[in-house]
Amino acid sequence: MARKTSQPTALPQERALLIGVDLPGINHWAMTDSMAELARLAQTDGAQVVGELTQRLDRPVPKTFIGSGKTRELVDLVHALDVDVVIFDDELTPSQQSNIEKAVGEPVKVIDRTALILDIFGNHAKTREGRLQVQLAQLQYVLPRLRGMWSHLMGEQTRGGIGSRFGQGESQLEVDRRLVRDRISKLREELKRLAQRREVQSKARWDSGVYRVALAGYTNAGKSTLLNALTDSDVYAKDELFATLDPTTRALDLAEGRKITITDTVGFIQKLPTTLVEAFKSTLAEVAAADLIIIVADASDPHWPAQVASVRDTLEQIDAGSITNLLCLNKIDELSAAEKDTLRIMHPQALQVSALTGQGLPGLLHEIATIASENDCTVTARIPYEKGLLMKMVHERGQVLRETYEDGGLLITAKVPVRLAGTLAPYRVDGDNLESKEDSESEPDTERNVSESPVT
C-alpha cells in the first residue's frame, strides 16, 4: 500500500504591490518613511512586498485616486510582477476601490492602509472584547463598500414559490446593508456591556486611591517589554507591529512604599483608522482615565519624533491630551554614547531607558514617584487598631514619615493623596497637641520610622 504524502496546509505568501501618493499639506510624513512603514505592515500581515509605485499630486484623483497614466502603469506592474494584492497607503473611497479593481482585473485584490491594519488587528486579537472591537471596526469599514456580499442568504427568495415574495422590491445591496447594520448594533450592545464591566473595575481602582499610570506609544516601541521590566511580569511581548491589543494592568510597589498600577494597551500608528479608534474606545479609556501617561518611543528609530506626534494626536482624539505625561525614550541599548549624548542635549526632559537591559529604569521609577506625590498632603492621624484596612491603605498609597503606637490607636504622619486625606479626616489630630504630647513621652522606643519596621 502506497504511503500517503502530507499536503502543505499553509496558504502561499501573497505578493503585494504598494501604492503611495505624496499629497503636500495633507501627509505629514515623508513619502519614503510612510512607504517603509506600509511595507512593514504588509510583512506583518504575511505578504511579500514585490514592488512599489508612487506619485506626487496636489489632490487625489476622484475616480482612481492616482492619475490615469499611473493607473496604466499600475496595471502593467500587476501583470509583470504577478501581483496578488495592491495596497494603497491612503484610504480609498468605495468607488475608487471599485474602479481600480476593474482596471487590474480579477483575482487581484485592491485594499488600502485601513483595511490592512484592520486585518492585522483581526489576526492579533486574543480576548473576546478585542475580537468584538475588531469585528465592529471591520464591519463599519465594510458597510459603505458592500457589493453583493452574503448573497447566499437570499437564496431561498430567488427560488420562487411560497414565501419568496417577502422583501420583494428590496435590492440585494439594501438587504446586505441591513444585515450588517443589525450585526453592528448587536456588537455595540455587547461591547457596551463589557465597557460597563470595565468601568466598574476602573471605578474601584479610582475609589481605592491607587495612582494609575498608562503606557502609550507607537506600535513596537517596547511598551510591553517595559511593563514586564518594571513589574517583573510576563506579558506577551514580541518584535512585531501590534503584538499587544488588549489592555494589561499590573501592580507595582514604589521604593517609598506607595502602590501604583501600570497599564499597557494597544500601540498607535500614523493614519490610525478612525473606525478603530471608535471601536477601541472602551479599551483606550484605560489611558484616558490614567493619572500619568508615559509616552514610550523607540529611540533607535530615526522617525521617533514624528511617531510621538502621532501618539499625541491620538491622545487628543480620546480626550487624554491634557493628562500629565512623561516622554520615555526606550531601546537606548541600541544607541552609541554619542547618539545618547545628542538626545540628552536635544531632549533634556526625556528619560532614556532600556527595558531590555534595565538601564535608566531606577530613574524612571523615581520620576514616577515624584510626579505621583506632587499633589500629596501631609496628614497626622490617630487610626484605631481595628481599622487595619485603613492602616494598610496609608502604607500602600502614601509615604509614611512617622508612626507611634498609642493606647487609642496608631498615631501616624504620612504624605498621602488628596482622596486618601479625605478618608483620614475623621481621625486627624491637631499638630500643636501632637507636639506637646510628644515632648512628654518618656518611652522613645514606642516611636519608629516606617522605613525601619513597616506596618503590614
Check the annotation: does 136 bind a ligand. Answer: no
Is 266 annotated to bind a ligand? Reply is: yes
324 labeled part of a ligand binding site:
no
Is 330 annotated as a binding-site member? yes
Q: Which residue type occupies 340?
A: K
Residue 310 in marked binding region: no
Query: Does 320 carry a binding-site annotation?
Result: no
Q: Are 14 and 47 in contact (CB under 8 A)?
A: yes
Q: Is 192 annotated as a binding residue?
A: no
242 annotated ligand binder: yes
355 labelled ligand-binding: yes
Residue 342 marked in a binding site: no
Check the annotation: does 87 bind a ligand.
no
3-state secondary structure the chain: CCCCCCCCCCCCCCEEEEEEEECCCCCCCCHHHHHHHHHHHHHHCCCEEEEEEEEECCCCECCCECCHHHHHHHHHHHHHCCCCEEEECCCCCHHHHHHHHHHHCCCCEEEEHHHHHHHHHHHHCCCHHHHHHHHHHHHHHHHHHCCCCCHHHHHHHHCCCCCCCCCCCCCHHHHHHHHHHHHHHHHHHHHHHHHHHHHHHHHHHHHHCCEEEEEEEECCCCHHHHHHHHHCCCCCCCCCCCCCCCCEEEEEECCCCCEEEEEECCCECCCCCHHHHHHCHHHHHHHHCCCEEEEEEECCCCCHHHHHHHHHHHHHHCCCCCCCEEEEEECHHHCCHHHHHHHHHHCCCCEECCCCCCCCHHHHHHHHHHHHCCCCEEEEEEECCCCHHHHHHHHHHCEEEEEEEECCEEEEEEEECHHHHHHHHHHECCHHHHHHHHHCCCCHHHEECCCCCCCC
Q: Is 356 marked as a binding-site residue?
A: yes
123 carries a ligand binding annotation: no
Q: Is 158 annotated for ligand binding?
A: no
243 is in an annotated binding site: yes
- Using an 8 Å Cβ cutoff, are 16 and 50 in contact? yes
Residue 332 among known ligand-binding residues: yes
- Cis before 273? omega within 30: no
Q: Report whether 354 belongs to an annotated binding site.
A: yes
Q: What angle do CA 387, 393, 399 make, to 5 degrees?
A: 125
- Determine if residue 265 is labeled as part of a ligand binding site: yes
257 is in an annotated binding site: no
* Numbered residues of the known binding site for Mg(2+): 224, 244
* Numbered residues of the known binding site for GTP: 217-224, 242-246, 264-267, 330-333, 354-356
* Numbered residues of the known binding site: 217-224, 242-246, 264-267, 330-333, 354-356
